[in-house]
Amino acid sequence: MWHIYQFPLCPFSRKVRLLMAEKGIAYELQTARPWEGEDRFFAMNPAGRTPVVHETERAITLSDSRAICEYFEETVDRNPLISGTAQQRAEIRRLVAMFDENFYAAVTEPLLHERMKKRLVLRQSPDAKMLREAMKLAHDYLDYIDYLIDNRPWLAGATITLADFAAAAQISVADYLGGLDWSSHEQARAWYMWIKSRPSFRPLLSERMEVIQPPSHYAEVDA
């Protein structure tokens, strides 16, 4: 049995959980809070980041969310999510990187800092200017999703891939933290509804991060 060390609002853990659920790989959740700097967690992943996945039976520990996704893609044939020609696979990986790195740095990370870390760790109020800036940058990414969905059924092409789950993982955290304005993004909104309504997504939508509450539309699959 795989164990995933994560916290409910970690977008990279969400991406790994979505891929595992789509592939039918069972897992148990373990809570990790890398910002507390616990030695046991850093021993599993010197990079100090969630998620880490661990399988006790074979003593396998894996970290870095993209390395984990590639590992399960290589070892579990069911529901390939990094599939197609080499060029199609490059397009999937380009979009995964864009959401993992650019969207995270511009939107998810500032929102997590202002709305989660300041509340749970620093005991400060969020900075309204930082929140506005993150929401403005989120708007640009929703525009880009609108553009992709105007041209393709799914973000990377004809089928659902890891690109959709990487994007939806980041977006779900930003949405939980009230950082997204969906008005004027009809295509992105429709695409996100399709993803939200998948069985793999349901467990994420029902979880809560301690005292932090999502907006009312967050867990609705038709809103």
* Residue 67 within binding range of its own copies, rule CB under 8 A: yes
Residues present in the chain in total = 223
Amino acid at 8: P
- Closest CB 156 distance from its own copies, rounded Å: 11
Between 148 and 219, CB nearer to its own copies: 148
- Pick one of 38, 56, 101, 202: the residue that binds its own copies (CB under 8 A): 101
Site track 116-145 with its own copies (rule: CB under 8 A), x = hit: ----------------------------x-
Q: Which stretch binds its own copies (CB under 8 A): 32-40, 96-104, 165-173, 185-193?
A: 96-104
Distance, CA of 132 to CA of 37 (rounded, Å)? 30
Nearer to its own copies, 60 or 223 (CB): 60
Burial 142-179 (b: 16+ CB within 10 A, else e): bebbbebbeeeebbbbeebbbbbbbbbbbbbbbbbbbb
Q: Which of 6, 13, 63, 161 binds its own copies (CB under 8 A)?
A: 63
Least distance in Å: CB of 64 to its own copies? 4
Contact, 96 vs 161, CB < 8 A?
Answer: no
Could you say which of 26, 40, 43, 47 contacts its own copies (CB under 8 A)? 47
Q: Which of 36, 40, 57, 75 binds its own copies (CB under 8 A)?
A: 75
- Are β-strands 60-63 and 27-31 bridged in parallel, bridged antiparallel, or unpaired? unpaired
Nearer to its own copies, 109 or 207 (CB): 109
In the bound state with its own copies, the residue whose beta carbon lies nearer, of 64 and 207, is 64
Residue 26 dihedral angles phi and psi, to the nearest 5°: -75, 145
Q: At its nearest, how many Å lie between its own copies and the CB of residue 86?
A: 5
Q: Are 153 and 105 in contact (CB under 8 A)?
A: no
Q: What share of the chain is helix, strand, coil (3-state, %, to 5)?
A: 55, 10, 35
Sheet with 27-31, side-by-side order of all strands:
27-31, 2-6, 52-55, 60-63
Closest CA to 189 of 198, 180, 201: 180
Q: How far is the CB of 223 from its own copies (least distance, A)?
A: 28
User: Can you give the binding site for its own copies, defined by CB under 8 A?
Assistant: 46-49, 60, 62-64, 66-68, 70-71, 74-75, 86-87, 89-91, 93-94, 97-98, 101-102, 144
